[in-house]
């Protein structure tokens, strides 16, 4: 039987490192990701954090971190990696209250379909500027730019191809580096 929460009720629960989300009031508690997934999250998070810190661009965090996309409808997600630009840092309190500038989802067998469909729709709907889908199985990184107009712009990178980001235009990474 599903457990229902408002955002305030959810935030009043004890702090935990378990992955959790509230999807329109329904609490989801999937099992922890596999080690290979976390290796990619840790590595890419460190690369993004080093770039953001060196250019004083804002703030990077890795999951679990609550992102409240819709307080009234009780939609709380935990992307694998979150970037909030310095000019929007007021979104960051004990959680991220609104759409981050960039979210990263590292795909795994158990999450890939949901990340590519449901979560991508939410990110677009609620104003995330860019989403990266890192796919270790296919050794690809797909960058989806939601800010470019009515139709999101998708670019998929493999091997030594230089990753391009509208949100982080000075970043210099390749798909191989990201998925190392």
Residue 1, in any domain of the structure: no
Kindly report, residue by residue over 136-157, the tens digit of the pLDDT: 999 999 999 998 777 889 999 9
> Mean of the pLDDT values across residues 71-93?
97
pTM: 0.94
Say what the pLDDT of residue 147 is: 85
Which residues contact residue 152 at a Cβ distance below 8 angstroms, ignoring those fewer than 6 apart? Answer: 124, 144, 145, 146
Q: Whole domain around residue 114: which residue ranges?
A: 33-178
Residue 40, in any domain of the structure: yes
Kindly report, residue by residue over 16-67, the tens digit of the pLDDT: 988 999 999 999 988 888 899 999 999 999 999 999 999 999 999 999 999 9
Residue 49, in any domain of the structure: yes
Say what the pLDDT of residue 2 is: 79
pLDDT exceeds 80 at position 96: yes
Residue 63, in any domain of the structure: yes
Say what the pLDDT of residue 158 is: 95
Query: To which residue do tokens 């000019």 refer?
Result: 87
Query: To which residue do tokens 């500038």 refer?
Result: 101
Kindly report, residue by residue over 106-131, the tens digit of the pLDDT: 999 888 999 999 999 999 999 999 99
Say what the pLDDT of residue 180 is: 79
Q: Which two tokens stand for residue 115?
A: 């990340």
Residue 84, in any domain of the structure: yes
Residue 68 to residues 71, 92, 98, 163, 179: CA-CA distances in angstroms?
6, 10, 6, 28, 28
Question: Could you tell me the CATH number of the domain that includes residue 90?
Answer: 3.90.1570.10
């Amino acid at each position: 039987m599903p457990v229902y929460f408002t955002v305030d009720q959810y935030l009043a629960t004890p702090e935990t490192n378990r992955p959790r989300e509230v999807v329109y009031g329904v609490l989801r508690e999937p099992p922890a990701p596999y080690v290979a997934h976390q290796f990619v999250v840790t590595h890419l998070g460190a690369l993004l954090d080093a770039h953001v810190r060196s250019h004083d661009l804002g703030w990077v965090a890795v999951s679990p971190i609550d992102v409240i996309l819709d307080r009234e409808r009780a939609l709380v997600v935990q992307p694998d990696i979150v970037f909030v630009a310095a000019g929007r840092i007021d979104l960051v309190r004990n959680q991220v209250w609104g759409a981050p500038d960039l979210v990263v989802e590292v795909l795994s067998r158990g999450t890939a379909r949901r990340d590519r469909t449901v979560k991508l729709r939410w990110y677009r709907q609620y104003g995330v500027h860019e989403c990266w889908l890192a796919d270790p199985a296919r050794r690809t990184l797909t960058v989806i730019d939601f800010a470019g107009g009515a139709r999101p712009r998708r670019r998929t990178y493999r091997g030594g191809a230089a990753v391009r980001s509208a949100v982080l235009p000075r970043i210099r990474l390749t798909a191989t580096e990201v998925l190392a």
